[in-house]
A and B are shown apart, each in its own frame.
Chain A
Amino acid sequence: MEMKPLTRLVLGLVCLLVAIWLVAPTLVVVPMSFNGNKSLAFPPQGFSWQWYQNFATNPEWSTSFLNSLKVASIVAVLATVLGTLAAFGLDRMKARPASLLRMLMLTPMVVPGVVLAIGIYAVYLDAQLVGTLSGFVLAHTILALPFVLIAVSANLEVFDRRLETAAASLGAGALTTFRTVTLPLILPGILSGLLFAFATSFDEIIVSLFITNPYLKTLPVQIFSSITRDADPTVAAVGTILLCATTILIGAGMLLLGRERKGRL
């Protein structure tokens, strides 16, 4: 669409502002994490690494971080296996039951977080799952499942099933066909599902706030309670670490994707 120079300029400026609004606010945690004072007031005073040290040495922080890593790793594997199986099932089903079941499996994405949280909390109180590893894993797995399903289904949609027929006609058994033909071709979908599942669990807060107890806290719960309790810059240090990790992961993913695409051409 051709535009007048003025329109073009205004459009560019508006988008620049939106981009700044998207990215810049989060960056404010970086200077705050080096604050010399125990305060979140702006501007930070002095310079120190003490909040990073506190994150590494204070058991409240380090334990919750390890808990989150543990839960998210188990959830990533579990949700990926269940989600991939389900995606296959739906792909090979007749259209009508498949779309119905798919809708059902995507409900965790649309149910408001708090409603789900009080429901799960009520059930966990009876089942004595509050503050347990299995409680966290079960709840997070069901929340991560839709993302795996979407990622793998998208890949299966473009997967040419005649390749499986070809492998079978050449004498490969069902399992060999799956391992050598189907799996390598849908692996990108499975891997992105795995990543999404990990991120979903690692970042989940609403349900976690309800099913947590002093014995088992995840990192988001610890961050939340720290923000509401006092102005401890350790949260800013954690935020900075998470920000860097995310940026590196996305950057690496983009580079890998770009290289793969170039390699194919």
Chain B
Amino acid sequence: MSALEPTTQPAAAVRPGRAWRPFALTLPALVLLAAVIGYPLITIVLRSLSEPEWGAQNYVWFFGAPVNLAVLQRTFTISAWVTLVCVVCAYPYAYLMTAVGPRIRLVLVLCVLIPFWVSGVVRTLSWVILLQDSGVINSLLRSAGFTGIRLIRTQTGVVIGMAQVLLPFMILPLYSVMKGIDLKLVQAARSLGARPSRAFFTVYLPLSLPGVYAGAIIVFILALGFYITPALLGGPRSTMLSTLVQTQVLSLLQWGRGGAMGVVLLVTTFLLLALAAPVMRSRHREAGRR
């Protein structure tokens, strides 16, 4: 063991014979992790392959039924819309956070943090009150002389609610990247004759992209697995994959099929993370070098 020790390690850090100690400290957490995350996930994978009998039947069923594929596609579409709405809304907001004085910044930070901390169920409840047919938006429209529009149980309603819930996850990484951007670079571009818009698009925007990527990945992944908001704001025509999983398991007791759907969702999430990790890391390094 001691032969493998890198020589750069500070002498006091790892005394010979005590290298196991740090592992012992992580052990309780790892045991719990294995029991409450690892074992259940393995159970689900096994059930998706073994119920009602061994084989890939549940996956064949999932990818063979147009209904399921439609839901899968819709899950991606809704998540993409939510991510887009979040990027568009968060970018100017995060930029303003870096540009204002400490007092206004505190107000802006509070506006992000309070919804972030308020119970997610309560926030979805308020969207139900706002969007329902007898809700705030429709009664305002009606009193202004317009006819009401259908918002609840539509895809638009789901996107509006989800984007609001997920917006802080976009604003915070963006802000932390933008905070570190050296504005002298923009000034340099300006002094060399670039117009403000050109200085923004060729200097500031590329430097802020790591934040956009990080935020977009987080929002997209969280959106893929969303359950509560689509369940309360959505209708039969805006069902997402999570709801389908729940129906298969709790209502139809089809553990195999529900499990297969869950595995598809899980694998998609991890694939996206794996794809995003190298991009984000290299961007990070690039930004650091400058």
The interface of chain A, by Cβ under 8 A from chain B, is 1-4, 7, 11-12, 14-15, 18-19, 21-23, 25-29, 32, 40-43, 82-83, 85-86, 88-94, 97-98, 101, 104-105, 107-108, 110-123, 138-139, 141-142, 145, 149, 161, 165, 199, 202-203, 205-206, 210, 220, 223-224, 227-228, 235-236, 238-239, 242-243, 246-247, 249-250, 254
A122–B262 Cα distance when bound, in Å, is: 13
Closest to B266 in A: A115
Residues of A within 8 A of B129 (CB): 28-29, 32, 40, 42, 236
- Cross-chain pairs A/B with CB under 8 angstroms, 5 sampled: A25-B164, A92-B14, A93-B22, A114-B246, A203-B119
Residues of B within 8 A of A21 (CB): 89, 164, 167
Question: Distance (Å) between the CB of A155 and the closest chain B CB?
Answer: 16
What bracket does the count of chain B residues touching chain A fall in?
Answer: 35 or more
A205–B110 Cα distance when bound, in Å, is: 24
Q: A22-B115, A94-B14, A228-B232 are in contact. List 5 more A-B contacts (CB 8 A).
A: A11-B95, A14-B92, A118-B255, A119-B262, A220-B121
B84 within 8 A of A: no
The answer to whether B167 and A22 touch across the interface, beta carbons within 8 angstroms, is yes
The answer to whether B37 and A85 touch across the interface, beta carbons within 8 angstroms, is no
Residues of B within 8 A of A202 (CB): 119
Residues of A within 8 A of B252 (CB): none
The answer to whether A28 and B23 touch across the interface, beta carbons within 8 angstroms, is no
Taking CB atoms and an 8 Å cut-off, the chain B residues in 183-199 that contact chain A are 183, 186, 190, 196, 199
Residues of B within 8 A of A123 (CB): 39-40, 43
The answer to whether B228 and A118 touch across the interface, beta carbons within 8 angstroms, is no
Q: With contacts A18-B93, A223-B121, A247-B114 known, is A114 near B227, CB below 8 A?
A: yes
The answer to whether A113 and B227 touch across the interface, beta carbons within 8 angstroms, is yes
B111 within 8 A of A: yes
Binds A, one of B57-65, B66-74, B134-142, B282-290: B134-142
B130 within 8 A of A: yes
Residues of A within 8 A of B41 (CB): 111, 115-116, 119
Residues of B within 8 A of A115 (CB): 41, 44, 225, 245, 262-263, 265-266
A139–B35 Cα distance when bound, in Å, is: 10
B211 within 8 A of A: no
Residues of A within 8 A of B95 (CB): 11
Question: Distance (Å) between the CB of B20 and the closest chain A CB?
Answer: 10
Q: With contacts A89-B24, A110-B221, A113-B242 known, is A122 near B40, CB below 8 A?
A: yes
The answer to whether A113 and B225 touch across the interface, beta carbons within 8 angstroms, is yes
Type the 1/0 row for B81-117, where 1 means its CB is closer than 8 Å to any CB of A.
Answer: 0000000011011011001000000101011111101
The answer to whether A40 and B132 touch across the interface, beta carbons within 8 angstroms, is yes
